Amino acid sequence: MEQSTIMLDYTHRQSGHCESGTLSNLFNYFGMDLSEPMAFGIGNGLYFSYIPFLKVQYAPMISFRNIPTTIIRRGAKRLGADAVIIKKFKTPEESMDALDRNLEKGIPTGLQVGIFNLPFFPPEYRMHYNMHNMVIYGREGNTYYVSDTVLEKPQTLSYADLQRVRWVKGAFSPNGKMYWINRVDKNADLKKAVAEGIAKTVYEMIKIPFPLIGTKGIRFLAKDLRKWPKKHGKEKASFYLGQILRMAEEVGSGGAGFRFIYGAFLKEAGEKFNHPGLSEASVLMGTAANKWREFSYIGARNCKSRSEPTEDYGMLADMLIEISYMEEDVFKKLENIKI
């Protein structure tokens, strides 16, 4: 059905991660300047989980980020924003009607989508990943205006394409999920929000007793990785390793990238609150992120059979163990910091 043009005065800003960039842009729309690193840190974007018995694209599930909309939900709550999250709809048509009603009310709306069928994504970056986030800020007839913070400029999608990516099947199927902000509190206690965000990430990275989560999960992955060649054979081990590398470098901005964003969050908080401890933790986080990048480089050489004999799965496992303790040191330091 054709409709009149709706175009909100929404500023698209590119970011390092889709969900934290989306929250940052939504806050900016309502007149509160919130950087992406701040959104990421306050909303607990940093995470790690390794679930070997759950397969995603035929390989063990590894995640460097929290579950979808965690950043939106926690970030908005800690900053006192009035936010709404609808987790699923009964039908695709119902979800599209709800989106249209929001646009008619002048509300830019965030969506969780699958990226495989996004026509504006370069083919080499398309994969069956259903935890991507973007904002719809306008409609002209059956064309929607899209702010996808992974990309430099705004994009457009047809009604049919938008419905398709909102209802893609598979792991973490979005089922039409959408979210938005009604208003923000420009007098929110930023220091309190930062402290709460750090405390929760500390808990999730070093205090959850379950061995597959946080730094313990990195060490569990290292233990399994060391066994993969003998247990699964070279070809399957290489495929599993490739999955780690995709999650570490490409999917959802990449696990190493998340560490750099979190380091930027700690740096900004340290400067804003004149806290040298946060600044020191930021440097340590950056060092751990660089180690993840080194792991990815050597892992990629291994997958392409270009590695040195010493750069085997045992060496990669040792690197993961080293990384786990580097990150543990960061969060133990943060645990003892008072802001």
Do residue 171 and residue 197 come from a single domain? no
| pLDDT tens track for 81-96 | 999 999 989 999 999 9
Q: How confident is the model over 71-78, as a mean pLDDT?
A: 96
Task: Identify whether 173 is part of a domain.
Answer: yes
Do residue 121 and residue 14 come from a single domain? yes
Task: Identify whether 50 is part of a domain.
Answer: no
At 204, list the tokens.
Answer: 């999730």
Do residue 25 and residue 154 come from a single domain? yes
> Has residue 250 got a pLDDT over 70?
no
Residue indicated by tokens 């908005």: 76
Question: At 315, which helix (H) or strand (E)?
Answer: helix 313-335
Do residue 246 and residue 100 come from a single domain? no
Q: What is the pLDDT of residue 254?
A: 56
Boundary-marking domain end, from 167, 183, 199? 183
> Has residue 305 got a pLDDT over 90?
no
| pLDDT class of 55 with cuts at 50, 70, 90 | confident
Boundary-marking domain end, from 153, 183, 213? 183
Do residue 173 and residue 199 come from a single domain? no
Domain containing residue 96: CATH number: 3.90.70.30
| pLDDT class of 58 with cuts at 50, 70, 90 | confident
Task: Identify whether 286 is part of a domain.
Answer: yes
| pLDDT tens track for 256-279 | 788 999 999 999 999 999 999 999
> In this prediction, what percent of the chain has a pLDDT beyond 70?
96
Global pTM value? 0.91
Most distant CA pair in the chain, distance: 64
The three-class DSSP label of residue 47 is strand
> Has residue 251 got a pLDDT over 70?
no
| pLDDT class of 339 with cuts at 50, 70, 90 | confident
Question: How many domains does the chain contain in total?
Answer: 2
Write out the E strands in the chain: 6-7, 46-56, 59-65, 82-86, 109-113, 132-140, 143-147, 155-158, 178-183
| pLDDT tens track for 120-176 | 887 766 777 788 999 999 999 999 999 999 889 999 999 999 999 999 998 789 999
Q: What is the pLDDT of residue 303?
A: 84
Task: Identify whether 290 is part of a domain.
Answer: yes
| pLDDT tens track for 11-45 | 999 988 889 999 999 999 999 999 999 999 999 99
Domain region containing 99: 6-34+82-183
Q: What is the pLDDT of residue 145?
A: 98
202 vs 18 pLDDT, higher one = 202
Do residue 178 and residue 231 come from a single domain? no
Do residue 194 and residue 292 come from a single domain? yes
- Per-residue exposure over 187-199, b if at least 16 CB sit within 10 Å of its own CB, e if not: ebebeebbbbbbb
Do residue 306 and residue 208 come from a single domain? yes
Q: What is the pLDDT of residue 90?
A: 94
Do residue 171 and residue 289 come from a single domain? no
| 335 CA to centre of own chain | 23
Task: Identify whether 27 is part of a domain.
Answer: yes
Task: Identify whether 49 is part of a domain.
Answer: no
Residue indicated by tokens 């081990």: 237
Do residue 307 and residue 286 come from a single domain? yes
Boundary-marking domain end, from 151, 183, 215? 183
Looking only at the bridges linking them, the beta strands covering 46-56 and 82-86 are: unpaired
Do residue 110 and residue 178 come from a single domain? yes
Task: Identify whether 272 is part of a domain.
Answer: yes
Do residue 119 and residue 265 come from a single domain? no
Task: Identify whether 73 is part of a domain.
Answer: no
Contact 263, 289 (CB under 8 A): yes
